[in-house]
Amino acid sequence: MKLILTYIRKHLGIFLLSTFFLASEALCDLLQPTFMSYIVDDGVRNADIGRILFYGLIMTGIALCGAFCAVMRNRFASRTSQTVGKELRRDMYRSVQRLSMENIDRLQPASIITRITNDVTQVQEFINSMMRMMVKAPLTCIGAIVLITIQTPVQAPVIVAIVFAAALLIFGNMKIAYPRFGRVQSKLDRLNGVTREYLSAVRVVKAFRAEKEEAKKFEEASFEMLDEQSEPEDRKNAAPLVRPRGDIELRHVSFCYLPGQPVLKDISVKIPAGTQTAIVGTTGSGKTTVINLLTRFYDVSEGCIFLDGHDLRDYRMEDLREAFGVVLQDTALFAATVSENICYGHPEAGQEQIRQAAKTAGADGFIERLPQGYHTVLEQGGMELSQGERQLLTIARAVLADAPILILDEATSSVDTVTEQRIRRALLEICKDRTSVIIAHRLSTIRDSDLILLLENGEIAEQGTHEELMNLDGRYAQMYKMQTGTYEKAAKAAEREGA
């Protein structure tokens, strides 16, 4: 409630304007019966057609005036609630970006999505209804009492007594019902979260037979996330960072998620600005962890990471997150339209910009084929798309963000070759002139990288260009031959089938 008020305060002008029109509307409503009584008392009783017409005309005027006020009130009220809603969404999105991984794990993506979409809509409705309830209803009530008192003073005490009794009843009712309403809401929230999560993870849950535990889980109260502490924290005199060049250096970096269990061991590597670096390696070798450190989802345990010559920890977290365009392995799409998904975090982007970004990412083809194109709502948060399509959408999002450094944790290991080609082309296009770090499972995607790092058990086992590593004839060469070998076989099989 307090939170909503701070947002409304920012748009006090429009808010007051709509309140003004609301009050005028109430006044018009109140005046009608008064003139009705004049018609009866003056006109009808004296059989004076002229008077009847005269008051009738005034009533029509008032009705028109009331209608005008209603339209204006509607306009300004919607504008207030829309703007507040938009700002709330933007701020919530920002605070999601600042959430530490621990907090994200705790709040759970399903609940975060519910909050950004449903809760904000509820707040908007609340603002609308608050104005109606808190301004129009009392005004009408008080105005009516005043009018009655003026016109028939004898009845006034009776009316006041009735209103007083009614107010008492309503108050008592609210006192009892309000806490219950709150409880219902939080239970609904819980149910909503658990159901959503259950549905989206139903296969996994079933596989582990964890249904019972899952049923016990519950969610936190709404909006708590806005108060959430972000971790790691900014240093006291953290420096601002505006469009970095993108020189990255890891110097003797080690890291453990759990004490005593190093996941990265003494990694040193230089990534010059404007170059493309690929990280490859078997599952669990620490590739995603490198990215977690670069984007400061976690801080290094030992050593240092430099960006443009300064320790990452010397920059403001907010600027840092803006410097990195990140496409993560587990793509985060939301139950919103395709367009909204692409411009997430950049609500100011226009339709044309969104289309352009989708085109660059090579995602426009499949988007156009969706039932409502860019306006198709991804009801299941993207689960109705293929893995490759989801990735193309998140690449489009990164294109739109236009960050100087691009990070991509590829999830394309199970993507068909056509989509893979598309992703590869999209990458070539957006990696142009910017520093990029790409984790790839299909080695053919990253053949053209300036530097390839092969991680093994958290250490750099091999590094160099594709040619250099092929000449080395070590692990990388072995992996590459294995992958391309299967490709050739698959291609031959397809040829035979076609023939």
Ligand X SMILES: Nc1ncnc2c1ncn2[C@@H]1O[C@H](COP(=O)(O)OP(=O)(O)OP(=O)(O)O)[C@@H](O)[C@H]1O
Residues that bind Mg ion (CB under 5 A): 288
Q: Is the preceding omega at residue 232 within 30 degrees of 0, hence cis?
A: yes
Closest CA to 411 of 382, 392, 391, 431: 391
**Longest CA span, the chain:** 112
Tokens of 245: 């060049």
Residue 330 or 495 having the CB closest to ligand X: 330
Contact call for residue 284 and ligand X (CB under 6 A) = yes
Pick 17 or 278: Cβ nearer ligand X: 278
Is residue 257 at the binding interface for ligand X, with CB under 6 A as the rule? yes
Task: Provide the minimum distance between the beta carbon of 436 and Mg ion in the complex, in angstroms, as a whole number.
Answer: 17
259 belongs to the binding site for ligand X (CB under 6 A):
no
Q: Which is nearer to ligand X, 242 or 258 (CB)?
A: 258
Q: How far is the CB of 447 from Mg ion (least distance, A)?
A: 20
Q: How far is the CB of 440 from ligand X (least distance, A)?
A: 10
Q: Which of ligand X, Mg ion, none interacts with 286 (beta carbon under 5 to 8 A by kind)?
A: ligand X
Q: How many residues does the chain have?
A: 499
Minimum distance from residue 439 beta carbon to Mg ion (Å) = 6
Query: In the bound complex, what is the minimum distance in angstroms from residue 474's beta carbon to Mg ion?
Result: 22
At its nearest, how many Å lie between Mg ion and the CB of residue 286?
9
Contact, 178 vs 184, CB < 8 A? no
Judged by CB under 6 A, the stretch of 40-48, 162-170, 230-238, 256-264 that binds ligand X is 256-264
Interface with ligand X includes 288 (CB under 6 A)? yes
Cα–Cα distance for residue pair 319/477, rounded to 1 Å: 39
> Nearest Cα to 342, choosing from 381, 378, 411, 393?
393
Per CB under 6 A, the segment of 33-41, 284-292, 332-340, 481-489 that binds ligand X is 284-292
Which of ligand X, Mg ion, none does residue 285 bind to, with CB < 5 to 8 Å depending on kind? ligand X
Compose the 327-366 pattern: x for residues touching ligand X by CB under 6 A, - for all others: --x-------------------------------------
The piece of 192-200, 257-265, 307-315, 487-495 that touches ligand X (CB under 6 A) is 257-265
Q: Which does 258 bind (CB under 5 to 8 A by kind): ligand X, Mg ion, none?
A: ligand X
Q: Which stretch binds ligand X (CB under 6 A): 16-24, 75-83, 285-293, 388-396?
A: 285-293
Report the nearest approach of ligand X to the CB of residue 255 (Å).
Answer: 9
CB 395 within 8 A of CB 426: yes
Token pair for 88: 């709330």
Closest CA to 111 of 14, 186, 183: 186
263 belongs to the binding site for ligand X (CB under 6 A): yes
> From the CB of 284, what's the least distance to Mg ion, in Å?
8
CA dist 497 and 251 (Å) reads: 52
Work out how close the CB of 398 gets to ligand X at its nearest, in angstroms, rounded to a whole number. Answer: 18
Identity at 484, one-letter amino acid code: T
Q: Site size for ligand X, by CB under 6 A? A: 12
Q: Which of 89, 115, 196, 287 binds ligand X (CB under 6 A)?
A: 287
Q: Taking CB under 6 A as the rule, which mask of x and - marks residues 75-114 in contact with ligand X?
A: ----------------------------------------
Q: C-beta of 329: minimal distance to Mg ion in Å?
A: 5
Nearer to ligand X, 80 or 292 (CB): 292
- Nearest to Mg ion of 77, 438 (CB atom): 438
Which residue of 50, 283, 309, 348 would you call a contact of ligand X, by CB under 6 A? Answer: 283
By the criterion CB under 6 A, which residues form the site for ligand X?
A: 257-258, 263, 281, 283-289, 329
